[in-house]
Amino acid sequence: MYRDFLDAGHARVQHIAYWNDSFQELHDRAVAAGFTVGQEGQIGGADGRFAYLETEHHPASVVEISDVGGTKKFVFDLIKLATANWDGSSPIQEIDASLIRGDPTALAEIMEVLA
């Protein structure tokens, strides 16, 4: 969908995300209201579902609904923790793959470093 957005000559904001704890309810309401699901899937398991809803009436934007559970929540929490005391230096950070898998030992280590 992003490539389609660019190929159509659009620029700037491509989508707006709504991260929530009630993905299925929002998904069902959107479909019942007539939205078309353009793309959907999951990241990190069933608690990381997402869907991009087509907005034919406004072709230069897409609405994303995204479940913030499971591994995705874990990674978002890491990002929040890392930014709490960020001084603006080193704007590009790498996340160790063990953290993305939810390794509790790795999480404890990173929390200690960031504290």
CATH of the domain at 48: 3.10.180.10
According to the model, what pLDDT value does residue 55 have? 76
Residue 16 lies in a domain: yes
Examine the domain organization and report whether 36 and 52 are in the same domain: yes
Tokens of 15: 């989508």
What is the total count of domains within the chain? Answer: 2
Strand order in the sheet with 36-42: 15-20, 62-67, 49-54, 36-42
Examine the domain organization and report whether 19 and 62 are in the same domain: yes
Residue 74 lies in a domain: yes
Examine the domain organization and report whether 57 and 80 are in the same domain: no
Examine the domain organization and report whether 75 and 99 are in the same domain: yes
According to the model, what pLDDT value does residue 99 have? 65
- Calculate the alpha carbon distances from 113 to 28, 81, 95, 108 in Å: 42, 11, 13, 9
Examine the domain organization and report whether 23 and 47 are in the same domain: yes
pLDDT tens series, the chain, 115 aa: 678 777 878 777 777 888 888 999 999 999 999 889 989 998 877 888 999 998 766 666 788 999 988 777 777 787 788 888 889 888 887 777 766 666 677 767 766 766 6
Q: Residue 62 sits in which domain range? A: 12-67
pTM for this structure? 0.65
